[in-house]
Amino acid sequence: MTDQQTEKKQGVLSSNVVMSGIRPTGMLHLGNYFGAIRNYVRMQEQYECYFMVADLHSLTTHPDTSLLKEHVKRVLAENIACGLDPDKATFYCQSHVRETGELYLYLNMLAYKGELEKTVTFKDKARLHPENVNAGLLTYPVLQTADIIIHRAGLVPVGKDQEQHLEMARNFVQRFNHRYGQIFPEPHAFNFNEALVKVPGLDGSGKMSKSENNMSTLYFADDDDTIRKKVMKAKTDAGPTEPNSPMPDYIENIFLLMHLVSEEGVIKKYQEDYNNCSIRYGDLKKQLAEDMVKFIAPIRQKADDILANDKYLVETMQKGAARASESAQKTMKLVREAIGLNYF
Ligand code: AMP
């Protein structure tokens, strides 16, 4: 019996293969780190991992490719500076794995217009850029599914913003398996059994992101003074007047950011100050700014060193492309056989 037949007999597949990606639409920020990259670094020690720079996805929203090469290299360098090890994980560029495009085509026949139109990220992007509501934007979750299942991955370290996409991925996988046989495991978001993370923006609303308001996002490329300036501009108010008052969202978000980079004792002190109405938001923000600088500066310096070594970056991409393509070719052989596209 072949491996595939054995797996078919066992019913629903599970997989400990890991897959995730980040779009090169700008520089990496704290949301990318705490939502995704931090887990990549932990997972690469224990699992077979595929991590990709999602350059094709970026074309759905960024058709101007004049900065693409620069951004791809920066995302590669920043991931490595954060601890991703290209010798432990397969780290590659999405466009180097041509098989994903073929799988995307097959999956598109199993994805329905109505469900794609209901996707929150599609609606948000269509609202922000009504002049460019292209079909690639609509079928983004289908390409994302192809990226994941091309390695037959089951574990997907992502932030909370990707939850709906993974639910759609499971639907597409179920439809494929139902129609053509049990080929693919169902992918699930993974955060070491903890709740998925959403890092808020410094403006107190929404999430930190590459393309929204630059002042509310802390990038790994930000210099120390920029970090300080951004944190000091975070929204606050005159402070609580009643002991143990509930925190407004924008203050809660400052504490949430503090939990990412500050020491427990320091956070506790400011929480007590808040509860007994003696908190000075200027001091709170100064503390947060210094802790952010301490966290970001070494990663920025490391990324700059890696970026200066173009030969290393090119070799890393080539090595990743070869390994990821080998895995994708194996999967596509199974897929073509399952669909019945193996005529000879
Ligand atoms: P993107 O930058 O949209 O390509 O996202 C790359 C990864 O970073 C995905 O796993 C996202 O879930 C994660 N991510 C992006 N922004 C945030 C955020 N503000 N909080 C948590 N995770 C995030």
CATH, residue 265: 1.10.240.10
Q: Are residues 220 and 334 in the same domain?
A: no
Task: Give the model's confidence band at 1: pLDDT under 50 very low, under 70 low, under 90 confident, else very high.
Answer: very low
Give the atom of ligand 1 at the shortest distance from the alpha carbon of 20: 10
Dihedral, CA of residue 48, residue 98, residue 33 and residue 160, to nearest 10: -90
Q: How far is the CA of 220 from the centre of ligand 1 (A)?
A: 14
Q: What is the mean pLDDT of residues 309-335?
A: 98
Q: Residues 145-182: pLDDT tens digits?
A: 999 999 999 999 999 999 999 999 999 999 999 999 99
Q: Are residues 106 and 242 in the same domain?
A: no
User: 184: closest CA among 163, 143, 154?
Assistant: 154
- Per the document, the length of the chain is 344
How many Cα atoms are found within 13 Å in the side-chain-facing hemisphere of 184?
Answer: 34
Determine if ligand 1 sits within 6 Å of the CB of residue 166. no
Q: What is the mean pLDDT of residues 48-68?
A: 96
- Residue 188, phi then psi, degrees to nearest 5: -130, 145
Beta bridge partners of 22: 53
Of all protein residues, whose CA lies closest to atom 5 belonging to ligand 1? Answer: 22
Our mutation pick for probing the ligand 1 site, out of 20, 27, 32, counting the most ligand atoms within 8 A of Cβ, is: 32
pTM (2 decimals)? 0.92
How many Cα atoms are found within 13 Å in the side-chain-facing hemisphere of 62?
Answer: 18
Q: How far is the CA of 29 from the centre of ligand 1 (A)?
A: 9
- pLDDT averaged over the chain? 94
Q: Are residues 160 and 36 in the same domain?
A: yes
Q: Residues 241-296: pLDDT tens digits?
A: 999 999 999 999 999 999 999 999 999 999 999 999 999 999 999 999 999 999 99
Of all protein residues, whose CA lies closest to atom 17 belonging to ligand 1? Answer: 31
Residue 202 lies in a domain: no
Of all protein residues, whose CA lies closest to atom 8 belonging to ligand 1? Answer: 32
Q: Are residues 99 and 161 in the same domain?
A: yes
Determine if ligand 1 sits within 6 Å of the CB of residue 161. yes
Q: What is the DSSP letter of 215?
A: G
pLDDT at 212 over 70: no
Rg (CA), the chain: 22
Residue 170 lies in a domain: yes
Q: Are residues 321 and 279 in the same domain?
A: no
Question: Of the given ranges (12-21, 132-141, 259-268, 284-293), which has the lowest mean pLDDT?
Answer: 12-21
CATH of the domain at 161: 3.40.50.620
Q: Which residue has the tokens 């329905």?
A: 112
8 Å CB contact between 93 and 55: yes
Residue 75 lies in a domain: yes
Distance (Å, whole) CA 150 – CA 325: 9
Comparing 324 with 203, the larger pLDDT belongs to: 324
Q: How far is the CA of 329 from the centre of ligand 1 (A)?
A: 28
Q: Are residues 159 and 96 in the same domain?
A: yes
The pLDDT, as a whole number, for residue 150 is 98
Q: What is the mean pLDDT of residues 46-51?
A: 97
pLDDT at 7 over 50: no
Give the atom of ligand 1 at the shortest distance from the alpha carbon of 54: 4
Q: How far is the CA of 24 from the centre of ligand 1 (A)?
A: 12
Residue 67 lies in a domain: yes
Task: Give the model's confidence band at 213: pLDDT under 50 very low, under 70 low, under 90 confident, else very high.
Answer: low
Determine if ligand 1 sits within 6 Å of the CB of residue 27. no
Domain that includes residue 288, residue range: 214-303
Q: How far is the CA of 21 from the centre of ligand 1 (A)?
A: 9
Residue 14 lies in a domain: yes
Task: Give the model's confidence band at 5: pLDDT under 50 very low, under 70 low, under 90 confident, else very high.
Answer: very low
Q: How far is the CA of 341 from the centre of ligand 1 (A)?
A: 36
pLDDT at 6 over 50: no
Q: Are residues 113 and 187 in the same domain?
A: yes
Our mutation pick for probing the ligand 1 site, out of 19, 161, 208, 211, counting the most ligand atoms within 8 A of Cβ, is: 161
The pLDDT, as a whole number, for residue 204 is 76
Q: Are residues 85 and 185 in the same domain?
A: yes
Q: Residues 116-131: pLDDT tens digits?
A: 999 999 999 999 999 9
Beta bridge partners of 188: 155
Tokens of 288: 């947060």
Distance (Å, whole) CA 242 – CA 171: 49
Residue 65 lies in a domain: yes
Determine if ligand 1 sits within 6 Å of the CB of residue 99. no
The pLDDT, as a whole number, for residue 32 is 96
8 Å CB contact between 118 and 38: no
**93: part of which helix (H) or strand (E)?**
strand 90-93
Q: Are residues 69 and 180 in the same domain?
A: yes
What phi-psi label fits residue 334: left (phi over 0), alpha (psi between -120 and 50 degrees) or beta? alpha
The pLDDT, as a whole number, for residue 12 is 74
DSSP 120-181: HHHHHHHHH-GGG--HHHHTHHHHHHHHHHTTT--EE---GGGHHHHHHHHHHHHHHHHHH-
Q: Are residues 292 and 316 in the same domain?
A: no
**189: part of which helix (H) or strand (E)?**
strand 188-189
The pLDDT, as a whole number, for residue 203 is 85
Task: Give the model's confidence band at 211: pLDDT under 50 very low, under 70 low, under 90 confident, else very high.
Answer: low
What is the number of structural domains in the chain? 2
